Amino acid sequence: MDNYDLQVDIAKGIFLAYDQPELIQKYCLETDAQYIYLTYLNTPCRINRETGSVEEIPVVGMLAAEPEALHKKAQQLASMLTAAGIEVEITATEGRVGGGSVPNHSLPSYAVAFTGEVNALEETLRLGVTPIIGRIHDGKYLLDVRTLFECDFPTIVEAVKEAGL
C-alpha cells in the first residue's frame, strides 16, 4: 500500500469515528440515508456514510466537460471501434441538459455515429445485458460521449461487436 492509500484509509477511519448527525447539524450538510454531500475544492462530492469513501458526483463532471475534451474522448472510442472492425464517424452534436429547471438548454458535444441498420442496433444495444443508450438522429445511431465513462468503452465495443449489425 502506497502512502496515498494509507492516508485515505486513515481519513476514512477518522470520518467514521465522528458523530455524523452532529457533523451534519453543525455544518448544515445535505444528506440522504447513504451519503453526506459537500463541495470540496469546487468539486461536488459525496461521502459514503458506511465506508467513508469520497466520490465525485458524475453528472457534474459530465455537465462541465469542455468540447475539446469531448472530441478527444470521441476519438478514443472511435479508434477502439475502428480497431474492432466497426465503421463509425465522429460528429458534432448537442445534448439536452434535462427537462426540469432548464428544459431548453443544450450543451455542445461529440458523438460516435453508426450508420446502416440503426434501428436494429439501437434496440439490440438497449436490450443487452449491459444496456447502452444512444439515440437516432438524421439516420444515424449516436453515442454522445458526454454521457459515457471511458472505463466503459471496452464494454461498448464488445456489445457493438456482438450486435453484428
**Could you report the per-residue pLDDT of 34-57, keeping only the tens digit for each?**
999 988 777 778 899 999 998 877
Q: Which of 162, 159, 59 is nearest to 112 (CA)?
A: 159
Query: Which domains does the chain possess?
Result: 3-56 (no CATH), 65-163 (3.90.1150.180)
Q: Examine the pLDDT at 147 and tell me if it is beyond 80.
A: yes
pLDDT band at 13 (very low <50, low <70, confident <90, very high): very high
Q: Which of 114, 112, 107 is nearest to 76 (CA)?
A: 112
Q: Which of 38, 19, 143, 8 is nearest to 86 (CA)?
A: 143
Strands 35-40 and 30-31: antiparallel
How would you class 27 by CB atoms within 10 Å of its CB: exposed for 0-12, middle for 13-18, buried for 19 or more?
A: exposed
The answer to whether 110 and 90 have CB atoms below 8 angstroms apart is yes
- State the pLDDT at residue 103: 73
pLDDT band at 85 (very low <50, low <70, confident <90, very high): very high
